[in-house]
A and B are shown apart, each in its own frame.
Chain A
Amino acid sequence: MPELTYRQAITAAMAEELRRDERVFVMGEDARADLWATSGLYAEFGDRIRDTPLSELGFTGAAIGAAMTGLRPIVDLQIAQLVYNAFEQIANQAAKSRYMYNGQVSVPIVIRAAMGYGGSSAAHHSDRPYPMLMNLPGIKIICPTTPADVKGMIKSAVRDPDPVIVFEDNNLMLQKGEVGGPEDVVPIGVGKLCRIGEDVTIVAIAGAVPRALEAADRLADEGISADVIDPRTLVPLDRDMILDSVRKTGRLVVADPANRTCGAAAEISAIVAEEAFAALRAPIRRVTAPDMVVPFSPALEAGFYPDADKIVAAAHSVVGGHDAEVFAGAH
């Protein structure tokens, strides 16, 4: 098994799918340059790597039209905030067309959006926009967190008959790991149980996953064991994995670097409250970014996102100190 960085894994996924299927092509701003995840593709694939003007609405819509008529475009939005520019086409054309036209058409498009937060990129370049897109039935949303997953899931996304938006996390780009081969795909809609425990379920999203694993290590030192779940896909969410875990542990902490209101953490909390209420032994805790504009100064941004300290504190608050039985007795 080769070892690649998260970014190399994204590039490898696109290259393998370009080799496998002549309908696949890549388009985006500076897609031909040796910049970011499309680096090196132009040298091998030539015209199938297409530079675009700065017209995110236009070229995202064009990719949708190409997908409706037989091709498999991968759109590189370069930074996740450009989703806002393309939003009308994503919402009205990509998400709705299969349903609205009663199955006459598929929109097999992949939109890649890299999130760069926590690095003084400031207000316009630091958003995590996936919660807004979760409210759009008709698209799938993935947020893989390891080199193996990002490679295998982008490959699944390219082969998927419906629109898939990939939220990549720039904080994970240099992370290294083993990845699968050209035929290995990781399915969309299946979560990953990263660590097995008994006392608390920690569901972590995107860049919060490594922080949750760090928190779980620290909790283990205190004698608290945690299930850590990386849903990997936000739509469709692997509800069963989360519910099964909470039915076992009775406690839920959700760590999500996106904003709090109507977010992924809110949705996961609501599902658990509706469907596993009887299993809950403590209130659900969310560890999210605040509903604030992201500030520029490192001194101001430093405390915004879920980290191991916050996740450990949230776990403590639901487990009730080091003795779960004491907490249960007080319940």
Chain B
Amino acid sequence: MDDLQAVAVPETGVLLEMYRRMLRIRRFDERAVDRHGKGEIPGPMHTSIGQEATAVGACLAVNEDDYMTGTHRSHGHPIAKGVGLDALMAELMGKGSGVCGGKGGSMHLADFSVGSLGESGIVASAMPVAVGAALSAQIRGSGQVVICFFGDGAVNEGAFHESLNLAAVWHLPVIFVCENNGYGITTPVDAASAVPVVADRAAAYAMPGVRLDGQDVLAVYGSVREAAERARRGEGPSLIEAMTYRFREHSEMGSNFSFGPYRSDEEIAEWLERDPLVLFRTAVLEAGLIPAVELDEIETEVDAEAAAAVKFARRSDFPPPEQAYVGLYLDERREPASLELDYA
């Protein structure tokens, strides 16, 4: 992002929205970490801190009615697609006002109203679903495209291969966006993948593949826009590999927990220097595209939004326990009744 004059810069409104959504993800996750540490958010939780630019660059490059599938590290994806913070934070806390009524949690934060078709606790599990949404768009002639997010770990699952091949052989409008943060939990990419450059794998599926800087929101935005246009023209899927880094551990396991010394201090320090929010702010200020005061205003607003989301979530009620036993089928009369035995 060193030379903004060299790339096609989107209009100011888009730039402001990029900053707002990246900040939303950052502030949301910072507060989620805080509440998780205080025991208010139960269960496993994986933050998007450090990876904001990829999610936001990709989602802002498509329309609100386009589809998206996520991963286990997916707080950022619905936020990037435009979901408000309140119902997401409530979901993390398992509250009835959560986006999934407390039934999904951190790894399943779907909001179908903005085309978010779900997130998956099983790596690569959402990839075939993304292909299916694209097939549906193609059959219906709707002109929609699908962003399929996945990590570097997913590329060694069979679902990755089957999904890319299906999408390519049927010319489906999918943009496969690999968030390559270098590690599958603790296993480095080059120990897991015989072809460690994910973009190179595109050749196996006769689709374009590009590796880019995932900390550069404008690079991601530009590349996904191009892929989306190609997809809408009926020319099929693309594979974009965004190089990024998670600034925290794989998951939140208590403040002092470490997964071990699998990442060197030097490496971590180098990546922390490449904070996508700082890079963006610096670049747009240096290019004179947006006055600092406008960015500061956004920061104030987003801080307040994130604080309000925590307040909303904390004040919300837990769902009544009987909610656990409904909602499996649309027609509840057909629900298996094995829990309804009366032993009295």
Contact = CB atoms under 8 A, between A and B. Distances in A.
A55 B100 CA distance: 31
A138 B126 CA distance: 18
Nearest to A71: B136
B166 A53 contact: yes
Contacts of A189: 334
B330 A161 contact: yes
Interface string B129-164: 111111111011000000000000000001101110
A93 B118 CA distance: 9
A78 B95 CA distance: 43
B92 interface: no
Nearest to B104: A100
B336 interface: yes
Interface string A58-69: 111111111111
Interface of B: 67, 99-104, 108, 110-113, 117-118, 120-122, 125-137, 139-140, 158-159, 161-163, 165-166, 169, 327-331, 334-338, 341
A102 B323 CA distance: 10
A288 interface: no
4 closest A-B pairs by beta carbon, nearest first, are A65-B132, A61-B128, A58-B162, A62-B132
A69 B133 contact: yes
Interface string A28-57: 000000000000000000000000110101
A274 B341 contact: yes
B166 A58 contact: yes
B132 A102 contact: no
Contacts of B131: 58, 61-62, 65
Contacts of B158: 57
A99 interface: yes
Given A65-B133, A68-B133, A69-B117, A58 B128 contact: yes
Q: Which of A92, A235, A274 has the most CB of B within 10 A?
A: A92
Given A58-B165, A102-B100, 15 more contacts: A53-B169, A59-B128, A59-B166, A64-B128, A65-B128, A65-B130, A65-B131, A65-B132, A68-B118, A92-B121, A93-B120, A100-B118, A102-B99, A138-B329, A140-B334
A67 B140 CA distance: 12
A103 B336 CA distance: 17
Q: Which of A104, A105, A236 has the most CB of B within 10 A?
A: A104
9 contacts: A58-B165, A61-B131, A65-B117, A65-B132, A65-B134, A69-B133, A70-B140, A102-B103, A162-B330
Task: Sort chain A's interface into a size bin.
Answer: 35 or more
A64 B327 contact: no
Interface string A74-113: 0000000000000011001100011111111110000000
B100 A104 contact: yes
Contact of A93 (B99, B101, B125, B330): B125
A98 B334 contact: no
A105 B116 CA distance: 11
Nearest to B164: A58
B101 A63 contact: no
Nearest to B146: A65
A71 B139 contact: yes
Given A98-B327, A101-B100, A92 B128 contact: no
A137 interface: yes
B129 A64 contact: yes
Contacts of B327: 98-99, 102-103
Nearest to A162: B329
B45 to A, nearest CB: 17
B103 A66 contact: no
Contacts of A235: 336
A17 B152 CA distance: 41
A239 interface: yes
A25 interface: yes
A99 B324 CA distance: 9
Contact of A100 (B100, B117, B335): B100
Contact of B132 (A68, A137, A161): A68
Nearest to A274: B341
A237 interface: yes
Contacts of B136: 65-66, 68-71
B129 A68 contact: yes
A275 interface: yes
Contact of B129 (A52, A61, A137, A239): A61
A236 B161 CA distance: 35
A163 to B, nearest CB: 9
A188 interface: yes
Contacts of B338: 271
A137 B334 CA distance: 12
Given A88-B159, A236-B334, A69 B103 contact: no
B308 to A, nearest CB: 22
Contacts of B329: 98, 138, 140, 161-162
Contacts of B169: 53
A275 B338 CA distance: 11
A275 to B, nearest CB: 7
A99 B128 contact: no
A60 B128 contact: yes
B328 A58 contact: no
B132 to A, nearest CB: 2
A33 B176 CA distance: 32
Given A88-B159, A92-B122, A93-B129, A101 B108 contact: yes
Nearest to A69: B136
A23 B104 CA distance: 29
